[in-house]
């Protein structure tokens, strides 16, 4: 039986969500959750993420036989630094708090993307976008609960990941307008592994063999998530497929409880639900805007 493009896209996005949750769970385990004799620093996880992804994309690049097009090194450098900061902050926050909470906060990155698109790319921000952003901010305030005893300082690290992740999205958008996707992945991961190696050298301890395997799973898991996400987004409208990325909250909560016995409280769950609602509204508005622009061009 042949699956419809929509069903294939949903499956791909769900796979991406599962691997996103998996990598954050592995980060939490490697930084103390698994109870290994040697506990790794979150910077080790960032190093493993880039090292094994670089090995994978180098093999794919040379296997494809593609030639280099003009390389925009400055833009690649900006994107790599932002991507490194994002992944390091996500892995660090995952080691300190409930995974579903950290994941939900990181989903605020589209707000930063929109603001930077307005400032740097001169894209128009209408009232519908502002409303969706307001919904997401309200959800974040419920989840974070600043000024109360329920506030977790670690949430600020996840919030930082949302800020840098949103900025990274702008850099990726600018790169995809200039270079092919495979070239971007190949170059970014090569630069990323150099940066990650330099940074991790300040806290370096030699991982145990099982930890090397787990670090490899982080890098390869992120690569699978990238591929699945990109493929799904190319198949159907964003408003249809983007809501399925939020299933990573469910995957993170299940994995976190199964392995570490942690669950978000009811207020955190309510706040995360509001963030998801705002994200769905935003994706729907972006899809309508893209469709209207396509009609104008034709």
Lowest-confidence segment of 44-48, 82-86, 148-152, 268-272 by average pLDDT: 148-152
Indicate if the pLDDT at residue 69 is higher than 90.
no
**How far apart (Å, rounded) are the C-alpha atoms in residues 14 and 33?**
25
The domain segmentation of the chain, as residue ranges, is 5-297
Q: In what helix (H) or strand (E) does residue 152 lie, and over which residues does it extend?
A: none
pLDDT tens-digit readout, 238-273: 556 666 777 887 888 888 888 888 877 777 778 778
Vertex 124 angle, CA 73 and 279, to 5°: 85
Percent of the chain with pLDDT over 90: 25
Q: What is the pTM of this model?
A: 0.79
Q: What is the pLDDT of residue 149?
A: 47
Q: What is the mean pLDDT of residues 186-202?
A: 94
Average pLDDT, integer, range 121-139: 74
99-127 mean pLDDT: 74
Instruction: Give tens-digit pLDDT for 7-22.
Output: 888 888 889 889 988 9
Q: Do 167 and 82 meet the contact criterion of CB atoms below 8 Å apart?
A: yes
286 or 33, which is more confident = 33
Q: How many CA atoms lie within 13 A of 54 on its CB side?
A: 19
What pLDDT, on a 0 to 100 scale, did the predictor assign at position 240? 64
Average pLDDT, the chain: 82
Query: How many whole angstroms separate alpha carbon 219 and alpha carbon 211?
Result: 12
Question: Is pLDDT larger for residue 271 or for residue 148?
Answer: 271
Predicted confidence at residue 150, as pLDDT, reads 47
Helix spans in the chain (H): 5-28, 42-64, 73-94, 99-106, 109-120, 127-144, 154-176, 181-200, 209-235, 238-241, 247-260, 266-297
Query: Could you give the CA distance from residue 18 to residue 22 in angstroms, rounded to a whole number?
Result: 6
DSSP state of 32: I
């Amino acid at each position: 039986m042949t699956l419809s493009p929509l069903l294939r896209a949903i499956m791909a996005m769900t796979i991406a969500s599962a691997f996103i949750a998996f990598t954050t769970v592995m980060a939490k385990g490697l930084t103390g959750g698994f109870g290994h004799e040697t506990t790794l620093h979150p910077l080790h996880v960032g190093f493993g993420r880039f090292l094994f992804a670089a090995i994978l994309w180098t093999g794919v690049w040379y296997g494809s036989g593609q030639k280099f097009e003009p390389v925009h090194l400055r833009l690649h450098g900006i994107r790599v630094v932002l991507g490194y900061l994002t992944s390091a902050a996500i892995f660090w926050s995952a080691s300190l708090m409930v995974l579903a909470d950290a994941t939900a906060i990181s989903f605020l990155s589209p707000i930063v993307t929109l603001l930077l698109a307005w400032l740097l790319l001169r894209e128009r921000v209408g009232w519908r976008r502002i409303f969706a952003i307001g919904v997401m901010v309200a959800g974040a305030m419920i989840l974070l609960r600043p000024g109360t005893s329920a506030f977790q300082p670690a949430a600020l690290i996840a919030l930082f990941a949302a800020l840098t992740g949103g900025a990274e999205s702008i850099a990726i958008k600018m790169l995809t307008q200039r270079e092919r996707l495979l070239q971007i992945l190949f170059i970014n991961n090569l630069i990323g592994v150099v940066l990650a190696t330099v940074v991790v050298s300040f806290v370096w301890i030699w991982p145990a063999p099982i930890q090397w395997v787990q670090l490899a799973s982080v890098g390869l898991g992120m690569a699978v998530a990238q591929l699945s996400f990109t493929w799904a987004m190319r198949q159907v409208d964003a408003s249809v497929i983007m809501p399925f990325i939020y299933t990573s909250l469910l995957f993170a909560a299940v994995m976190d409880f199964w392995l570490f016995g942690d669950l978000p409280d009811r207020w955190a769950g309510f706040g995360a639900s509001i963030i998801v609602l705002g994200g769905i509204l935003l994706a729907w508005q972006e899809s309508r805007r893209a469709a209207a622009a396509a009609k104008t061009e034709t």
